[in-house]
Chains A and B, each alone.
Chain A
Amino acid sequence: MLRDATINFDTTGTPPIAAGQAFAGKIMDDRKSAKPTPEAACEQTDWLVAVRDKRDKLAFARLYDHFSPRLKGMLVRSGMTQAAAEDVVQDVMLTIWRKAHLYDETRARASAWIYRIARNRQIDVIRRRPRPVPDELIAEAETRETREADAAIGLEQEAAQLREAIEALPEAQREIIERAYVGELTQAEIREATGLALGTIKSRIRLALEKLRHELRDLREE
């Protein structure tokens, strides 16, 4: 069932949480000097598509150079030692290489897909048991080609808008959001905090899922 398109994470009126403010690290310091444009951010998605479709090792090396320092930084900030973080980064990068066929650029930007893989692996390691993950909804290559090419571009535009919205937030609120996604907040802190309207992005991804379901159904009927 398609619910109303705007499930809102809107936090107007939600008080900022104290826990997030006391020792918030600055993680977006370099943003103003090197603000990625939507086209530049799209680069990583292009690299991942090249890895998926052409097993392109140069594109993989670019992904490695872009993501491995960021992943290591995120994992260390969420409590891992440098050595443990590097082990996880290694597993994440090899998972990207081996599971690239599952990547669907109409639903996820490269950074979103890699963010998920990193969380999965980190939690496998920390908890010493496999993290429960949703069943994969697999996009076969042939259905992917029939989907609108501009779906990924649309996702990119939404992402650019969300990035602007994050940047426009008051400093304290922005830091809470960053800390939440980096993995520094507890479940209870996240329950109190929130703060990001993801309704339009959700609707776009929802649409991509509907198209995928539809095309998978058509494939089965052929």
Chain B
Amino acid sequence: MTEITHHLPDWLVRSYATGSLGHAFSLVVAAHVSQCDECRARLEAEELAGGLVLDDLKGMAPSDDLRRRVFDGLDDDDVIVAEQPARAGIYPGAVVEAMGADSPRWRALGGGIKQAILSEDKEGSARLLYIPPGMAVPDHTHGGLELTLVLQGSFSDETGRFGVGDVEVANDDLDHTPIAGMEDVCICLAATDAPLKFKGLLPRLLQPIFRI
């Protein structure tokens, strides 16, 4: 396991634990925690706090019917508990689930860069990015918050170097140019709560087509 140096901010871990985080960001949290014991411990600490609140909660009496349904279900082999798929190569189970396959369906964006959109809803979008060694991801600013988790290789930008398992949290203020490390193709999981905006004219024209 490589050393992870860029972790999730506390509020993201807490938002995930309490269920208030949208799908795209939840995907990044789940994928990061899958490979980071430090953040797994932080998430489980949050859940311990959630359990304390649950323990002290004033409850609502369940119906008698619920009790019957639960106890009838104990010996019912037809009751299936859904399982998230297992990790596949560099992709944590949550990403495999979102891909609906063991590998991404890449679409070329030009310059050897590819992407695979995993989810899009009104709260944001998540996609995988494939960046050949030494290539720059087009310079872009953000309308909201962007989380980028490295799954393979690395990238560097004005704020530092990000290796496998590292997550970059970029907000409105950050105007950055990530460049993939030379050692390998860089594959990232990127999630944002707003459409990305490119600075140059050409990328802006491409934006509606490529949904970057």
Contact = CB atoms under 8 A, between A and B. Distances in A.
A119 interface: yes
A201 B45 CA distance: 6
B70 A93 contact: yes
Chain A interface secondary structure, helix, strand, loop or mixed? helix
B61 to A, nearest CB: 6
Interface in B78-104: 79, 81-82, 84, 86-87, 92-95, 97-98
A67 B53 CA distance: 12
Interface of B: 3-5, 7, 10-11, 14-15, 17-23, 25-27, 29-31, 33-34, 37-38, 40-63, 65-67, 69-71, 73-74, 79, 81-82, 84, 86-87, 92-95, 97-98
Nearest to B95: A132
Interface residues of A, number: 92
Chain B interface secondary structure, helix, strand, loop or mixed? helix
B18 A134 contact: no
A86 B62 contact: yes
A181 B81 contact: no
B190 to A, nearest CB: 14
Question: Residue among A90, A115, A213 with the most chain B CB within 10 A?
Answer: A115
Interface string A21-48: 0000011111100001000010010000
Contacts of A213: 37
A78 interface: yes
Given A64-B67, A198-B46, A205-B41, A90 B73 contact: yes
A64 B70 contact: yes
Contacts of A116: 17, 47, 50
**8 interchain residue pairs of minimum CB distance:** A69-B59, A111-B51, A112-B51, A132-B94, A132-B30, A206-B41, A134-B33, A181-B53
